[in-house]
Structure 1
């Protein structure tokens, strides 16, 4: 099989899927060096830098570059071709020996690069998926996505509330509910509360020095809360890469801002900043009413539960976060939560279409598969 010095794979990768990755791996096997050019338009919902990073992670042995290409597609217009090629050549300055595509336009693209065209799986028999299909139905295409794309597309749902209001019970119950749906949902995960593990560690460390120590003897500093918030974000990011299209979180870094008020008083701007670094899509607030307080050795704030519930409610409202309150017995709360999550999923992902192909000029649409 002929090998090439420098190969090129070009596409939108919006988002990258199994067909894209097969194309890149095939090209990498046949080239001494391979460049993957990610072209994104400014109207698209997934930022160019994200797609470049995703491709770099999955294909660590190739060079990945990005370019903004806001030129409409018209394969029958030489002037449009020239404009696209100017973008391509600015991003890929090294001579190209082979262009690998799964598209009918590959011959012309390769000719303009002065290269040979290698067509890979033109009929999409190995991986029957397209970028259009993924954007329209991420759930149905979930098995065709790699970890970084999954993490970005995962809908993150947070269960938060005052002490002993059932956040852990609810997060676990929701994960089990969606796991039972099977298919892409079978891998649904929930993320435990990092602050609780951190607190247990502080108490254990104190007892090494003072065996009789109790929870009320543990003291926090403001500087510890950014540490907790960052760890919570990292836990979520790891879980989102290997789960289903929905991830349930037992509290989040946003909730840590209120826990800071509860233990320290006032706000820590750094915690607020960390909370805004991760995108969540829905919050489920567990009401304290009707839930018995259980002292498990890491709680001492039964009298503060009404205040905390209200603080969560106020902060969720002030920051414009979408939330639903869970009240009543557990079965009622679970039913309310499932209905809210289903509504979130039914809304879809609302990913913008790529730039349209000009109409009325005989333009042939560039295939969306790659």
Structure 2
């Protein structure tokens, strides 16, 4: 058995897993290793049945622990168990990934630490294998991340929430639908900040270029805060793309910073819904008429197509739209822990 401390030797630690998702139990293991070794490697296994990409899972660890090396285990074996054949497959894969690198300490909180450390000729460092210090598992988090979010780092949690945005011209039912969807799914919704800002700052029904940029920036800040309070989904009324299109409509141009936020918004939300104009127009004093509604709706759809963004068109009553949204959100391809 190797001496755990080996004071005169450069100590290299290794741990591995799917980290689906990465949680505070994993953090305890990594932080224990950081204290004990000079260099730490984390090998992340791929898994075709997990909808959270390998790169996202690797990104969590890189962001939280920038000082350690993270290896993305592309084409990693999916076999699990403790038969001689399966253990040999796992050992050979790890050996191939490491190449000629020598490991002095193998960290795990699972029984496989015994055979893997022996294969690596490394110290077997099993951390909190009984889960007494951090009573959580990835399985429990997959079952209910919201209930167990105290065990999840904010960097990770924000990626476990499916971000849904509702787009559409004024008076297409976005606000009502977003609010009711939040109730239906027991989660949060982000109101259109531009409406609040417009009511307090508009002059002759107009906002400046700088106003529109500020609307987009603050909307994003508020949305980010709500993500950490959300349960599975966050429903947002409008995004920076719509604000950008309003700027073009009002002024014929937009500030470069707003244009950049609109570009970023292309990948900000996981699912895009567009509320159709098939509901009666609500002709309030702050709106520009049904003709303008239909024109702006067409502008939104053309812009989404130009950006090559997938979207779902919602029609019918509020209840019918909720049913349409529910069908999309519960589809297997939209389940991050499929």
TM-score range, shorter chain: 0.7 to 0.9
Q: Aligned partners of 1:336 and 1:85: how far apart in 2?
A: 55
Return the match for 1:66 from 63, 71, 75. Answer: 71
Return the match for 1:151 from 158, 164, 180. Answer: 158
| Higher RCO (CA < 8 A, seq sep 6+) | 1
Shift of 1:106: 0.8
SS of equivalent residue, structure 2 residue 268 = coil
Shift of 1:120: 2.9
Instruction: Map 1:30-69; keep pairs closer than 5 Å.
Output: 31=36, 33=38, 35-41=40-46, 43=48, 45-59=51-65, 63-69=68-74
Shift of 1:283: 1.3
> Quick one: structure 1 residues 168 and 313, their matched pair in 2 at CA, closer, same or farther if it must change by over 3 Å?
same
SS of equivalent residue, structure 1 residue 215 = coil
Return the match for 1:9 from 15, 18, 28. Answer: 15
The aligned counterpart of 1:211 is none
CA RMSD of aligned residues (A): 4.0
Q: Is the 8 A contact 1:284 1:324 kept in 2?
A: yes
| TM-score, length-scaled by structure 2 | 0.72
Q: Does 1:339 align with 2:313?
A: no
The aligned counterpart of 1:241 is 228
Q: Is the 8 A contact 2:16 2:45 kept in 1?
A: no
The aligned counterpart of 2:138 is 130
> Quick one: structure 1 residues 47 and 225, their matched pair in 2 at CA, closer, same or farther if it must change by over 3 Å?
farther
Aligned length, in residue pairs: 316
Instruction: Map 1:179-194; keep pairs closer than 5 Å.
Output: 179=186, 188-194=187-193
> Quick one: structure 1 residues 255 and 116, their matched pair in 2 at CA, closer, same or farther if it must change by over 3 Å?
same
Instruction: Map 1:76-87; keep pairs closer than 5 Å.
Output: 76-77=84-85, 78=88, 81-87=91-97
Q: Deviations for 1:76-123, whole angstroms, at most 9, x for unmatched residues?
A: 354762342231357xx5x54432212222123223433211223435
Q: Is the 8 A contact 2:279 2:316 kept in 1?
A: no
Q: Aligned partners of 1:54 and 1:177: how far apart in 2?
A: 30
* Gaps in structure 2 of 5+ consecutive residues: none
> Quick one: structure 1 residues 38 and 191, their matched pair in 2 at CA, closer, same or farther if it must change by over 3 Å?
farther
Instruction: Map 1:302-317; keep pairs closer than 5 Å.
Output: 302-303=289-290, 304-312=292-300
The aligned counterpart of 1:366 is none
SS of equivalent residue, structure 2 residue 282 = coil
Q: Deviations for 1:16-55, whole angstroms, at most 9, x for unmatched residues?
A: 1344234334444x52556251324385643333223312
